[in-house]
A and B are shown apart, each in its own frame.
Chain A
Amino acid sequence: MANHSTSTTKSKFLQHHFVDSDQQFDAAKMGMWIFLVTEVLFFGGLFAAYIVYRTWYPELFTMASEELNTIWGGVNTVVLIGSSLTVAMAIKSAQLNQKKNIAINLGITITLAAIFMVIKYFEWTHKFHLGIFPGKFYAFDGIDHPKANVFFSLYYLMTGLHGIHVLVGMGLMIWLLIRSLKGDFGSEYYSPIEMTGLYWHLVDIIWIFLFPLFYLID
């Protein structure tokens, strides 16, 4: 075995096939960004469908958007931005080796994500109550347009896929919280928090676009 070991930082989480912790961190980060590229294109297909249908039926989007509550959409935007801030704070706490603050910030992030999902739950169930279901199950006669179900199919698919990502993010954050309470993370090793943070910020960016595209149509 060649002796590559020139680094001064030694972590118990350093894998033997990396030269040092920095190389391991940068490799993980590049891998994460490649994954995020696939995520952008995953959502991209739905955004493309949205654009096609909006250019076909612009008046439908104006009419159907009335059924969505701008205030709750806005509140959810603020909640998600707040959770992005606390994730960034958790990473900063790890970099400064403030181990207690990592757990506190992760805890706040999980709470904010849960608030987002609760608001989403009430928005969806309110629509189900009115008979607004996706596709052929659509049974609402409040919108005078033959393609009204198309708008809500897109709405449920896009906010639904986004909601699944929020749930996955919550699961990851609970795992990080448990590990941070065990003292796994500090200035010498915090890759999992950094990578989950990148994922969480992307989920935030996608919501930043979903909000005006569904809730803010005149």
Chain B
Amino acid sequence: MIILKLNLTMSGHHISSDKTLLSVAGSLFILTILTAVVHFMHLPEPWSIIVAMGIAILKGSLVAMFFMNLYWDKRFNLILMISSLAFFALLVGFTLLDTLFRPEITPGF
């Protein structure tokens, strides 16, 4: 029953208000400026990539949730999106298990 009720409130036809769309776009612009400012501050070694990727993940999530409507959409589409990221993580993870632990890196290219 609960699942049925949830499904009724979730629709593929959610209409976003101008206010929602403009505030999402505004946040994305501000985060873009922020990530560029942080770049020019030249943070010490591991932090610059951590902050840059953190902001990128936040921006990507905003686009996926509110521009691509995953926040209001059927949950199945969100599961599809997350599964693509899970398989990407597998690809990178297993590749790094090889490439990070080679005695000599050096392929010919």
Contact = CB atoms under 8 A, between A and B. Distances in A.
Interface size class of B (residues with CB under 8 A): 35 or more
A56 B99 contact: yes
Contacts of B100: 55
A61 B64 CA distance: 29
A25 B39 contact: no
A33 B70 CA distance: 11
A41 to B, nearest CB: 6
A146 B12 CA distance: 52
A36 B32 contact: no
A212 B56 contact: yes
Contacts of A215: 39
A193 interface: no
Interface string A37-65: 10011001101100110011000000000
B56 to A, nearest CB: 5
A51 B68 contact: no
B64 to A, nearest CB: 7
A37 B36 CA distance: 29
Nearest to A71: B36
A88 B85 contact: no
A212 B48 CA distance: 10
Contacts of A87: 67
A78 interface: yes
Contacts of A33: 77, 80-81
Contacts of A25: 12-13
Interface in A180-218: 197-198, 201-202, 204-205, 208-209, 211-212, 215-218
Contacts of B32: 74, 77-78, 81, 211
A37 B84 contact: yes
Given A74-B36, A205-B63, A218-B48, A88 B77 contact: no
Contacts of A109: none
Contacts of B64: 201, 205
Interface stretch (A89-97, A158-166, A170-178): A89-97
Interface in A68-126: 70, 74, 77-78, 81-82, 84-85, 87-89, 92, 95-96
A218 B42 contact: yes
Contact of A208 (B12, B16, B56, B80): B56
A146 to B, nearest CB: 11
A34 interface: yes
B15 A208 contact: no
Among A88, A202, A211, residue most surrounded by chain B Cβ atoms (within 10 Å): A88
A215 B49 CA distance: 12
Given A56-B105, A85-B22, A88-B67, A212 B96 contact: no
B6 interface: no
The 5 closest A-B CB pairs, nearest first, are: A212-B52, A40-B84, A37-B84, A85-B25, A216-B39
